[in-house]
Amino acid sequence: MSDKHIYLDHSATTYIKPQVFDEMLPYLNTYYGNPSSIYAMSHKTEQAIDQARERVALALGAEKAEIFFTGGGSEADNWALKGIAFANKHRGNHIITTKIEHHAILHACEFLERNGFEVTYLPVDAEGLVDPEAVRQAITDKTLLVSVMFANNEIGTIEPVKAIGQICREKKVLFHTDAVQAVGHAPIDVKDMNIDLLTLAAHKFYGPKGVGALYIRRGVKIDSLIHGGGQERGKRAGTENIAGIVGLGKALELAVAEMPAENKRLAALRDKLIKGLTRIPHTRLNGPAGDKRMPGNVNVCFQFIEGESLLLLLDSKGISASSGSACTSGSLDPSHVLLAIGLPHEIAHGSLRLTLGSSTTEADIDYVLEVLPGIVQRLRDMSPLWKNYLQAQANASGHAV
Ligand SMILES: *Cc1c(COP(=O)(O)O)cnc(C)c1O
C-alpha cells in the first residue's frame, strides 16, 4: 500500500463536503420527527425538506412541485421509464433510448421489452454523440418517451439535449434525461431545454449516497413505482430520508455556486492529463475533446494491455481509478459504451477512466503522469499481444530491407 491517496473516481461517487455534512447532522440526531406527524419537531423536518425541494427547483429552473425525492439515481431512472410507460400505454408502446445509457436505463428498458414495450436503441458516433435527427427519424405514432442521457458517465460526452428536447416537444413525445453526471457540474434549465423528466443523484455532486430526485414536469402523467403512504404528494411512498434530502439540497446549492470557477479549473487539469497520457505510444482518447466533454472526465485506452491489471498497479501507487465504469468493472465484458463508439473488444479492454473532482490538485495530475508510463510499459512487457506486435514490426522491417 502506498501512503499517497489520490482519488480519481469522482464519477463513481464523491465524498460529502463538510458544509453539507454539517447541515445534515442535526437531522440524524436532533430533529428526527416524522414529517407526516403533527407535533412541532415534525414541522421542523417538514420545513427542511421544503427548503431542499426549493434549492433543487432553483438549480434546475423548475418549480418546487415538480421535484420528487427518491432513493438515488437508479430509482429515479426506473421510475421515469416504467412510470411513463405504464401510465401512457393506451397511447403507444414504443420507447427510444441510446446504446450508451447507464445500466439503470438499459436494464429498465429490457424489463419493459419483456412486458410488451418496444425499445429502439440509437447508435452514437465515434465521440459518443447522439444525432438529434436520428431521434426525429426514430419517432413513430406509437412512441411515448425518448430517454437520452445528459452526459455519459464513462467517456464524458455531453449530448445535444436541448435539440433533442425541441424535437420531442414538436412531435409531442415525452423527453427524459438521465442527468446524474451533469447536475451540479453543467448548467441545466429544464424549461429552456424542453426536458419533461430529469434524474439526479446527490452522491455525484458531494452529497450523500442513497438519495436522488426525479423532476417531473407539471401535467405529465406517471405511475408510481413505490406504493404506500402519501409522501411526495402521493407519488413516492416511504418515510423521507430527511438528512439525505437536506444533504442533497445543500450539496446542489454549493455545486451550482462553485460551478463556473470549478469547471474552468477542472477542464485545465483534465486537458493537461489528456495531453500527458496521449504522449504514451499506442494510446487513444475516448470521447470528445474540449467543450463537448465533461470538465472532470478523462478516458483513454492503452493498446495491448488489460484495464483490470492497470487498476491494481495504480492502486498500489495510491491512485483510485476505474476501467469502464464502476458498474461494469468486476465483469469481463468490455464496456458497452466503448463498443458503441466503435472500438474493437481487444482495445476496449485496455481502458482507464480517471474522473477529477474538488479534491484534485495539479500535483495529483503530475504524480499520475509520472507513474503511469512506467506502469503501462511494465504491463506491455508482460503482454503476449505486445510481443506479437513487436514481432510483426520486426518482420515487416525485415521484409523492407
Ligand atoms: C451513478 C449513475 C446512475 C445511478 O445512480 P445511483 O445513485 O448510483 O443509483 C445513473 N446514471 C448515471 C449516468 C450515473 O452516473
Instruction: State pLDDT tens for residues 51-103.
Output: 999 999 999 999 999 999 999 999 999 999 999 999 999 999 999 999 999 99
DSSP collapsed to 3 states, the chain: CCCCCEECECCCCCCCCHHHHHHHCHHHHCCCCCCCCCCHHHHHHHHHHHHHHHHHHHHHCCCHHHEEEECCHHHHHHHHHHHHHHHCCCCCCEEEEECCCCHHHHHHHHHHHCCCCEEEEECCCCCCCCCHHHHHHHCCCCEEEEECCCECCCCCEECCHHHHHHHHHHHCCEEEEECCCCCCCCCCCCCCCCCCEEEEEHHHCCCCCCCEEEEECCCCCCCCCCCCCCCHHHCCCCCCCHHHHHHHHHHHHHHHHHHHHHHHHHHHHHHHHHHHHCCCCCEEECCCCHHHECCCEEEEEECCCCHHHHHHHHHHCCEECECCCCCCCCCCCCCHHHHHCCCCHHHHCCEEEEECCCCCCHHHHHHHHHHHHHHHHHHHHCCHHHHHHHHHHHHHHHHHC
Q: Is the pLDDT of residue 219 over 90?
A: yes
- What is this structure's pTM? 0.96
Give 136 Cα–ligand 1 centroid separation in angstroms.
26
Please give the C-alpha separations between residue 175 and each of 80, 261, 271, 346, in angstroms, as whole numbers: 10, 30, 32, 35
Largest CA distance in the chain: 91
Question: Ligand 1 pocket by C-beta < 6 Å: which residues?
Answer: 72-74, 77, 102, 104, 149, 153, 178, 180-181, 201, 203-204, 212
**Per-residue pLDDT tens for 223-269?**
999 999 999 999 999 999 999 999 999 999 999 999 999 999 999 99
CA distance 186 to 67: 19
327 is annotated as an active-site residue: yes
Pocket test for ligand 1, best of 70, 180, 199 (most atoms within 8 A of CB): 180
pLDDT at 38: 87
Q: Whose CA is nearest to atom 14 of ligand 1?
A: 180
Q: What are 45-65's pLDDT values in tens digits?
A: 999 999 999 999 999 999 999
pLDDT tens figures, 327-368? 444 456 789 999 999 999 888 888 999 999 999 999 999 999
Instruction: Kindly report, residue by residue over 298-333, the tens digit of the pLDDT.
Output: 999 999 998 989 999 999 999 999 986 444 444 567
Query: What is the bridge-based pairing of β-strands 283-285 and 6-7?
Result: unpaired
Q: Which whole number is the average pLDDT over 172-189? A: 98
Instruction: Domains for the chain: give ranges and CATH numbers.
Output: 6-12+259-397 (3.90.1150.10), 18-255 (3.40.640.10)
* Residue 149, all three cell numbers: 442521457
Protein residue with least CA distance to atom 5, ligand 1 = 73
